Amino acid sequence: MTLAPLPFDPPVPVPLPTPPLDFPPLFRSALTHPSAAAESRPPLPDNQRLEYLGDAVLGILSAEALYHLHPDWPEGALTKARSHLINETALAAVARAIALPPHILLGRGETAQGGRDKNAILADALEALFAALWLETGPDATRAVFRSWFASAIDSIPGGTREDNPKGLLQERCQAAGAPPPSYTVLSCEGPSHAPVWRVAVHLGDRLLAEAEGPGKHAAETAAARLALLSLP
C-alpha cells in the first residue's frame, strides 16, 4: 500500500513529506484502520493505540482553549462546550473539512461498506493523527494545528447560558433601541503563533463602544462586547 500526501498545510513545521515520499511511520500508523492492518503483508501497525492517546490530547487541547477563551464560563458550561467540540460527529466534520477521508487506509471489506464516510472511522483517524502530531512535533506545534483546524468549530460553540453570550446580549440591546447591529474590527494580533494576543474594537455605527484583548479573535470580541454592555445606558 502507498499513501498519498495529505492535502493540508499546517501553520507550523510538521514532519510531513512532500510527494512522492511516504509518510513517516507514526503518521502511516495514525491513518491505518485495523481492517487494513489485518490484510497487509507484512502486517502494518494500526491506529488504535494512537487513537487512545489522541483522545486525551484533544481533550486537553480543547479544555485549554475553552478555559482561556471563556474565562467567565462555569465548569458545567465548559464541560458541555468541550463535548460539543470533540464528540464523534464534530471530529468527523473536522476530518472532512481537511479532506482526510481519502488518505485513511482501509481493508477491502470496510472500503466496500463505505468506511471512509463513517463518522466513527473518521473521528478515530483524526484522534490518532493528533497523537502522532503530539509525539512527533510536541505540544506547541500540535496546539497551533488544533487552533487552525478547529477554529470554525470553536467559534460556533453556543454559550452555556444566556449570560455567557455578551455578543448576543449586546446585539439584542442594540436591536431593542432601534440601532444597527454592533460591528467588530480587529486592531492587532501580536505574539507568538502558539500564544497570540488579539485586540478588537466594537462600534455602534461611528461610535466606539469598547476595545478589548483576548487569546483569540472570538475571545477578544466577547470581552469587547462585555465592556460595551457596561458602557450602554
CATH code, 42: 1.10.1520.10
In a domain, 204, yes or no: yes
Tell me the residue range of the domain where 58 lies.
Answer: 25-155
What's the CA gap between 40 and 107, in Å, rounded? 9
Q: Which positions ≥6 away from 216 have C-beta within 8 Å?
A: 65, 68, 69, 147, 154, 196, 198
**CA separation, residue 124 to residues 67, 104, 109, 115, 131 (Å):** 25, 10, 18, 12, 11
What's the CA gap between 47 and 60, in Å, rounded? 20
The answer, yes or no, to whether residue 1 has pLDDT greater than 50, is no
Which one has a higher pLDDT value, 152 or 58? 58
Which pLDDT band, with edges at 50, 70 and 90, does 159 fall under?
low
Domain's final residue, options 155, 173, 190: 155
- Which of 51, 127, 164, 221 is flagged as catalytic? 127
Which one has a higher pLDDT value, 28 or 48? 48
In a domain, 73, yes or no: yes
Which pLDDT band, with edges at 50, 70 and 90, does 20 fall under?
very low
**pLDDT tens, 87-137?**
999 999 999 988 899 889 898 888 899 989 999 999 999 999 999 999 998
**Is the torsion defined by CA of 169, 170, 173, 179 positive or negative?**
negative
> Does 55 qualify as catalytic in the annotation?
yes
The answer on 180 and 81 residing in a single domain is no
Q: How many domains would you assign to the chain?
A: 2
The answer on 136 and 41 residing in a single domain is yes
The answer on 150 and 60 residing in a single domain is yes
In a domain, 10, yes or no: no
What's the CA gap between 95 and 81, in Å, rounded? 19
The answer on 206 and 143 residing in a single domain is no
104, 108, 143: which is closest to 14 by C-alpha?
143
The answer on 181 and 129 residing in a single domain is no
The answer on 134 and 29 residing in a single domain is yes
- Cβ–Cβ under 8 Å, residues 193 and 11: yes
- Which of 22, 55, 64, 213 is flagged as catalytic? 55
In a domain, 147, yes or no: yes
Which pLDDT band, with edges at 50, 70 and 90, does 63 fall under?
very high
Q: Which positions ≥6 away from 106 have C-beta within 8 Å?
A: 33, 35, 36, 115, 116, 121
Is this prediction's pTM over 0.85? no
Question: Quick one: pLDDT at residue 169?
Answer: 84
Cell triple for 85: 467540540
The answer, yes or no, to whether residue 196 has pLDDT greater than 90, is no
- Cβ–Cβ under 8 Å, residues 119 and 89: yes
In a domain, 160, yes or no: no
